[in-house]
Amino acid sequence: MYILMATPECAPVAKAGGLGDFVQGLSRELAAQGHQVEIILPKYDCLRYDRVEDMTLEHPDLWVPFFDRAVHCDVEVGLVDGLRCYFIDAHSEHGFFNRGAIYGDADDPDRFTFFSHAILAFLVASGRRPDIIHCNEWQTGLVPVLLFERYTALGLDKTRVCYSLHNLGHQGWTTPKVLEMNGLDVGRLMVPDRLQDPGNPQAVNLMKGGIVFSNFVTTVSPRYAWEIQHTDQGVGLQGVLRDQDRKFGGVLNGIDTTTWNPATDPFIATNYDLERLPGKAENKAALRERLGLVDAPKPIVAVVSRLDRQKGIDLIRHSIDYSVEQGAQFVLLGSAQEPAINAIFWDAKQSLADHPDAHLELGYDEELAHLIYAGADMIVIPSVYEPCGLTQMIAMRYGCVPIVRRVGGLADTVFDANYSDRPYEERNGYVFDELTFEGLESALGRAIGLWQQHPDHFRQLRLNGMRMDNSWARPAQDYLNIYQHIRVR
Ligand code: ADP
């Protein structure tokens, strides 16, 4: 099958979070199974150009409709970890992709609907006819709308769309101007069963457009699929998703087991696996040395996270003091966009300066993240909501025991050491329900206590996590089944 991944992110060249990992991991697995997989991204100025090989001009002079004129683009192509990746370079006076960051501008709906339109214009102009376009998030929600409203008539009549929702907290709410900008009929589309936002009749909802116009819609875990249909986690789209139930399902994400493999990871101090577990202790020593923690018979509790309200900021902050009080060490690697959240963690960092048992590293550091997974004993993920979450799966592969709130994909992947109804060998972490300090402590306290009092049992929990198969093999098969189901034969 010929599959085109339409996405605002792809690791490692343009990654803001788990979406980048999703595109890379799923694409690699599909390609390994012999499918023709290509990725299409904006050519951001902040792209990691050092990770793109053989960048060349693929299609000069692409003209993308924009209001009643057209914007000149070039399409370049390069290899990203062996995958063929197209980059849309827009030469508009708006500098759509030259903002120094992937997201965060007031005109993001304009930027990304322009990108969506450019994808289809490129396919038509270059004669490419993918069987499937796999779209992601609101940023590419207009692709199926444009496809079925305009581009089937221009030769893309055999292309079908699978659309994945990674986070309902961002739906691409905007004004009907983006429809005009893309030559779409506002009167036809601004109606309740098309792109009109359910909560605000004046607003266009790009994610809703993607859901309504795609042939199949997925989200990134079965539990989150249920939550967004039946609770306020759907952020207004619950009814739409229930109406589309026949073409909607949750597929649990995998992790890229080449990138995330303690046996071969080049960013950690010593490679290890199930048979060479003492290697983990050497990483713990290296992590302490790197972050200035003392050598002591204590577990290391870690957080690796975007510092966003979604991630449970108060509980992350509380886990620092609580861990140290309970006789553990604590490390945090986190990046905050919101100034108020940034301030909370800068204050905490200052108050812990030179602390022998705690260290906070504020920023985004891919390589340090690897060493933390390898060196830490536990990882705390107290999310308010979590569509899938890769952190807990990566941590488990590195023998780092997750302590998580029972939401979304966390509930689908972490099974409580004491209270799960799963067989003992499948229990791999600690789970709590309440979004309160007491809730967090009820799980984190048990984890630290087990490490201190029953090291053999703690070791077993580590091994149970390391044995789990969270690779892309199974989810990729689920996606292939979906593609087969919707494709035109
Ligand atoms: P989300 O997509 O909501 O950020 P996920 O758990 O799905 O959360 O994915 C997070 C990914 O980003 C993981 O690969 C994690 O290691 C990485 N990550 C998060 N914060 C940082 C950071 N500050 N530095 C390096 N990597 C980070």
Separation of 367 CA from ligand 1 center, angstroms?
Answer: 12
At residue 223, the pLDDT reads 98
CA 469 / ligand 1 centre spacing (Å): 20
pLDDT digits (tens, 9 = 90+) for 286-315: 999 999 999 999 999 999 999 999 999 999
Q: How far apart are CA 135 and CA 303, in angstroms?
A: 30
| DSSP state letters, 63-79 | EEEETTEEEEEEEEEEE
The mean predicted confidence, pLDDT, of the chain is: 97
* CA 125 / ligand 1 centre spacing (Å): 37
Q: How far is the CA of 305 from the centre of ligand 1 (A)?
A: 5
Identity of residue 209: G
Q: What is the 282 CA–ligand 1 centroid distance (Å)?
A: 24
Q: Is the pLDDT of residue 224 over 90?
A: yes
Which residues does a 6 A CB cutoff place in the pocket of ligand 1? Answer: 17-18, 21, 304-306, 333-335, 364-366, 369, 388-391, 394
Mutate to test the pocket of ligand 1, among 166, 391, 413 (most ligand atoms within 8 A of CB): 391
Q: Ligand 1, closest atom to CA 311?
A: 3
Distance from residue 94's CA to the centre of ligand 1 (Å): 30
Provide the terminal-to-terminal Cα distance of the chain, rounded to the nearest Å.
11
Minimal-distance CA residue to ligand 1 atom 12: 17
**Which two structure tokens, joined as six digits, stand for 179?**
């429809």
For the CA of 15, the closest atom of ligand 1 is 12
**Centroid of ligand 1 to alpha carbon of 319 (angstroms):** 18
Pocket residue to mutate for ligand 1, from 103, 260, 304, most atoms within 8 A of Cβ: 304
List C-alpha distances in Å: 295 to 42, 56, 289, 291. 46, 51, 8, 11
Phi (first) and psi of residue 416, to 5 degrees = -65, 135
| 264 Cα to the center of ligand 1, angstroms | 20
**Which ligand 1 atom sits closest to the C-alpha of 333?**
23
User: CB-based contacts of 31: which residues, under 8 Å, 6+ apart?
Assistant: 37, 82, 83
Per-residue pLDDT tens for 375-402?
999 999 999 999 999 999 999 999 999 9
Predicted local distance difference test score (pLDDT) of residue 489: 82
Give the model's confidence band at 17: pLDDT under 50 very low, under 70 low, under 90 confident, else very high: confident
- Which of 9, 257, 306 is the best mutation target for the ligand 1 pocket, counting ligand atoms within 8 Å of the beta carbon and taking the most? 306
> If DSSP codes are grouped into helix, strand and coil, which group holds residue 419?
coil
Query: At 265, which amino acid appears?
Result: D
Collapsing DSSP to helix, strand or coil, 75 comes out as strand
> Could you identify the atom of ligand 1 that is nearest to the CA of residue 373?
16
Structure tokens, 299: 């577990």
The pair of structure tokens assigned to 341 is: 């959240």
User: Looking at residues 17-39, what average pLDDT do you find?
Assistant: 95
* DSSP annotation of 10: B
Query: Which atom of ligand 1 is the closest one to the Cα of 18?
Result: 2
Q: How remote is the CA of residue 221 from the centroid of ligand 1, in Å? A: 17
Torsion, Cα 126 132 137 143, to 10 degrees, reads 50
Mean pLDDT of the region 73-93: 97
Cα–Cα distance list, 174 to 111, 180, 196, 418 (Å): 12, 12, 10, 47
State the pLDDT at residue 373.
98
pLDDT, mean of residues 218-226: 98
